[in-house]
Amino acid sequence: MCDVPTALALINTSAALYGYVQQNAMADQQQAGIEEGYALQMRQLEDRYRQINENATDEVSERAREARAELARVRAVGAESGLGGVSQTRAESETQMLRSNDIAIIESNRQNTLKAAQYGGEAARLENTSRIRSINRPSLVGTGLQIAGVGAEYAKQTKDTPSTEAVKAWKDWDRTRKTKGL
């Protein structure tokens, strides 16, 4: 069985180590939660990219269908009216040019929307990185200092205090040394 100061030193040292381990485990849990949230945000961003691309593809397909219908209408009007040649070719070319312009606008809108979504993803990454860096992790140095304090307190409590006779003998010896010039 150990004495009281030793028992207290062991308990305090164990408490310091346990506190370090618990705080570290809590910090790990916080980080895991932040990382899980970030992974979810990235999956949502991937879904957003897919939706943007699908919507643009659908718009291009719809515009191409409309252009084919318009071109067929222009050709039918030309055939019915008996007009042909330059006027017919010009009307068909204009229909094709409008279709190309519309498709270019759809593609430009798609690129801009993707870029905006990408900026949102980058902002989410930066925010999560900042959140992870702000997690309070326990300091191993702080824990070491805490344990050192326990050791110092233990040494102070268990240090043998000199007896009165020993102090008196020391003072006598010191006086003798000084008077004899030693």
* pLDDT score at 45: 95
Kindly report whether the global pTM for this prediction surpasses the value 0.75.
Answer: no
CA distance 46 to 156: 63
The answer to whether residues 41 and 118 touch, using CB atoms and an 8 Å cutoff, is: no
Q: In the predicted model, is pLDDT for residue 111 greater than 80?
A: yes
Q: Does 103 score more than 80 pLDDT?
A: yes
Pair 95, 74: CB distance under 8 Å:
yes
pLDDT score, position 102: 93
pLDDT the model gives residue 114: 95
Q: Provide mean pLDDT across the span 98-115.
A: 94
98 vs 161, residue with greater confidence = 98
Q: List, for residues 44-54, the tens digit of each pLDDT value.
A: 999 999 999 99
- Give 106's pLDDT tier (boundaries 50, 70, 90): very high
Task: Please provide the DSSP assignment of 91-121 as one string.
Answer: HHHHHHHHHHHHHHHHHHHHHHHHHHHHHHH
What does the pLDDT read at residue 134?
94
Share of the chain above pLDDT 70, in %: 88
Higher pLDDT, 40 or 13: 40
- Residue-wise pLDDT tens digits, 6-29: 888 888 888 988 999 999 999 999
